[in-house]
Amino acid sequence: MTKVRRAVGAYGERVAAEHLRAAGLVVLDRNWRCPEGELDIVARDGAGTLVICEVKTRRTGAFGPPILAVHPAKARRLRRLAAAWLAATGVQPREVRFDVVSVLPQRQGPARVEHVRGAF
């Protein structure tokens, strides 16, 4: 991965975390890694809902909205990673929800953010 792509991804994750906090979610973990991969953001929504949030950032909309990058194989991997996070932390939520936050930086002003709850 290039430095530019890494920087764009880190920017998108910061913007997404702030967006989630502003929406009332509590960020529990960021960039959690295990041998199988990484979870971008793990958050709590309300008292009993754990939210696994995949963040997708693109510099332009030329290839469509960033959410299109979350394909079925990616969704399956995120489910496995969520199970690994739950096992590692011992957290026992009433519900687990999978969200996607798309971040599209703008030439001027704040990035355009789309938060899809229960995306898969």
* Residues 21-49, mean pLDDT to the nearest whole number: 96
Q: What is the pLDDT of residue 81?
A: 98
Q: What is the pLDDT of residue 1?
A: 64
* Residues 89-108, mean pLDDT to the nearest whole number: 94
Q: Read off the tokens for 65.
A: 């909205």
Q: What is the pLDDT of residue 59?
A: 78
For residue 29, give every residue at least 6 positions away whose Cβ sits within 8 Å of its Cβ, in sequence order, or none. Answer: 39, 41, 42, 85, 89
As a whole number, the mean pLDDT across the chain is 92
**Does domain 3-116 sit in CATH 3.40.1350.10?**
yes
- Domain positions in the chain are 3-116
Q: pTM (2 decimals)?
A: 0.91
Q: What is the pLDDT of residue 97?
A: 98
